[in-house]
Structure 1
Amino acid sequence: MPAGLVSVSAILLFGLENDVAGYGLLAAGLILAALFDRALLRDLSLVAAGMVIVSTVPLNADLSLSHMALMGGALALAVVVPWVVHRFLYREEVIRFPVNTGRKWPLAGKLYLLGVVALGYLILPVYLISTGVYQNWPDASDPTIFWRLFLGVNAVGIWDELFFICTTFTLLRRHFPDWLANLLQAVIFSSFLWEIGYQAWGPLLTFPFALLQGYTFKLTKSLTYVVSVHLLFDFVLFLTLVHAHNREWLPIFLY
């Protein structure tokens, strides 16, 4: 119940942008954890801290330098604060960001990366253009906006894996079966992506993606691999957004 309340509070904070109800549900989850499971409280508090930090800034595709700096700073703190507390206050090393694992990616892993590109090509244009959701991102016809959009899409994609997978999923796995920890993080993950711009029927896309990323991390234990998956998908997203705003550009999509 405590973890469920913290997870569902993300729907209110990010999906519905109802801070009062969201913070209330978040606090209720932490209070329950304090009453029944202090170890869970420690880890949920770190997840909650990151969520609160992120909720203090508007989560949209405003590509002004001031907003990019503000949002980038908040996202960075949402990862750094839990890690610092966990490492230096709790003196534990469960939160890790495994980049160089020393393992080679198997053939199945390489084929999966190709599959991600193919799925993105088939799904994203239909989703973004048929719903008009692409308008949640700015027109990148201006060269400055083009490169800021490219940077922003990739930076947020990397952050997703640092916070939702390496931090949230990892901490929840200490207390719950992997499948349940994955469901809990996926609710937070997809709620965040809703506010970023994946609206309309976006959760039907983002929730399974979040689950797959958690499961992939469980199998590979590699931040590098899950980031590669995410960035390949986001590269197709970026190209689709460019085309959606300027249909004569990149006329390579089917929708």
Structure 2
Amino acid sequence: MREAPGHVRPLHLTAALLVCLAAPAFFVLEQPVLGFGMLVAGLILAWGAEHSGGREIPRTPSLLRDLSLIAIGLAIVRAIPLAAHLDNRSMLAFTLALGGAVAVPYLVSRFLYRDRATAFPWFGSGRWGRLHWSWLIAVLVLGWLILPWYFISSGVYRNWPVVDDPDLIARLFVGVGAVGIWDELFFICTVFTVLLRHFPPWVANALQTIVFVSFLWELGYRSWGPLLTIPFALMQGYIYLRTHSLAYVVTVHLLFDAVVFAVLVHAHNPRLFDVFITVP
């Protein structure tokens, strides 16, 4: 992973902020014209920052190219509604759009820009130690305590379809897990990794959190959900910085999503997964 710059350039930050703020325009406000306008404005500003004073600033990597990768991914995701549906057509649309949002920026960076801006380091910097395993246990315990109260007391579980037969439960299991893996491939290994090429880690992490949390909002994590999703997104970025391991952040996310799955099934079928003590 490329070492991030030690200081923040105002024009570069403004350009990146505009691109990342397109996510809440798309997924929270549901204003696609505003979202695409912010993407275009951010890319124009990035171009201007790289050509300040009428000459191109020799800067590798290119901010314009890197922000364009984020813009491409966001535009592809915005091509479909993100409401959770479990029919074949909706699941296929999710697969194509979310898969494209990761694959297209990777291919553009790899074969058009030829700079490998995105990265998917599976094993990272070494074996998992006691702290790694302790955090995995903590994720399960915290999810078991917090998520039932959040989903059921707020009623946001209704943002997911009723799952009242084995086929729908199986589809929900696959869907929740697949989206969780995609979250890390896009928000961490694409958005965060690209931003780290230009900004200090704390700035890059804050910017990717804007995108991450906005997507989760439209997916269904509404009401006071951002009180959970913001620290979760920040923590995933921090963990990735420390471990450089896609496998670890995916494992954390899948454990979290396993609890989400169980809570959603229980909310619609109280006799199933009746193991939660914080159900209101």
Normalised to the residue count of structure 2, the TM-score between the two structures is 0.89
Match of 1:148 among 171, 182, 188: 171
Q: What CA distance in whole angstroms lies between the structure 1 residues aligned with 2:36 and 2:119?
A: 27
Match of 2:231 among 200, 208, 229: 208
2:19 aligned with 1:6: yes
Q: What CA distance in whole angstroms lies between the structure 2 residues aligned with 1:29 and 1:87?
A: 22
- CA distance 1:24–1:73, shift in 2 (3 Å): same
2:106 aligned with 1:93: no
2:125–2:244 Cα contact (<8 Å) kept: no
Other-structure match for 2:3? none
Q: What CA distance in whole angstroms lies between the structure 1 residues aligned with 2:247 and 2:269?
A: 33
Other-structure match for 1:50? 73
Q: What CA distance in whole angstroms lies between the structure 1 residues aligned with 2:44 and 2:116?
A: 25
Q: What CA distance in whole angstroms lies between the structure 2 residues aligned with 1:106 and 1:240?
A: 29
Match of 1:36 among 40, 45, 49: 49
2:256 aligned with 1:233: yes
1:133–1:200 Cα contact (<8 Å) kept: yes
2:151 aligned with 1:138: no
Other-structure match for 2:56? none
Q: CA deviation at 1:96?
A: 1.5
Q: What CA distance in whole angstroms lies between the structure 1 residues aligned with 2:230 and 2:123?
A: 28
AA of the residue aligned to 1:9: A
1:126–1:254 Cα contact (<8 Å) kept: no
The 5 A counterparts of 1:86-235 are: 86-101=109-124, 103-235=126-258
Q: CA deviation at 1:100?
A: 3.2
Residue deviations 1:122-165 (CA, integer Å, cap 9, x gap): 11001000000001111222111111000000000000000000
Q: What CA distance in whole angstroms lies between the structure 1 residues aligned with 2:269 and 2:165?
A: 11
Q: What CA distance in whole angstroms lies between the structure 2 residues aligned with 1:94 and 1:8?
A: 21
AA of the residue aligned to 1:34: W
Residue deviations 1:170-215 (CA, integer Å, cap 9, x gap): 0000100000000000000000000000000111111110110000
Q: What CA distance in whole angstroms lies between the structure 1 residues aligned with 2:208 and 2:31?
A: 20
Other-structure match for 2:5? none
SS in 2 for 1:59: coil
- Number of residue pairs matched? 255
- CA distance 1:102–1:20, shift in 2 (3 Å): closer
SS in 2 for 1:218: helix
Q: CA deviation at 1:102?
A: 6.7
Residue deviations 1:62-84 (CA, integer Å, cap 9, x gap): 11100110111000000001101
Normalised to the residue count of structure 1, the TM-score between the two structures is 0.98
The 5 A counterparts of 1:74-85 are: 74-85=97-108
Q: What CA distance in whole angstroms lies between the structure 1 residues aligned with 2:268 and 2:222?
A: 17
AA of the residue aligned to 1:205: L
SS in 1 for 2:85: coil
Q: CA deviation at 1:254?
A: 2.0
Query: What do you get for the CA RMSD once the two structures are aligned?
Result: 1.0
1:10–1:51 Cα contact (<8 Å) kept: yes
Moved over 2 A (4+): none
Other-structure match for 1:66? 89
Q: CA deviation at 1:249?
A: 1.7
SS in 1 for 2:115: coil
AA of the residue aligned to 1:254: I
More displaced 10-residue stretch of structure 1: 93-102 or 166-175: 93-102
Q: CA deviation at 1:16?
A: 1.4
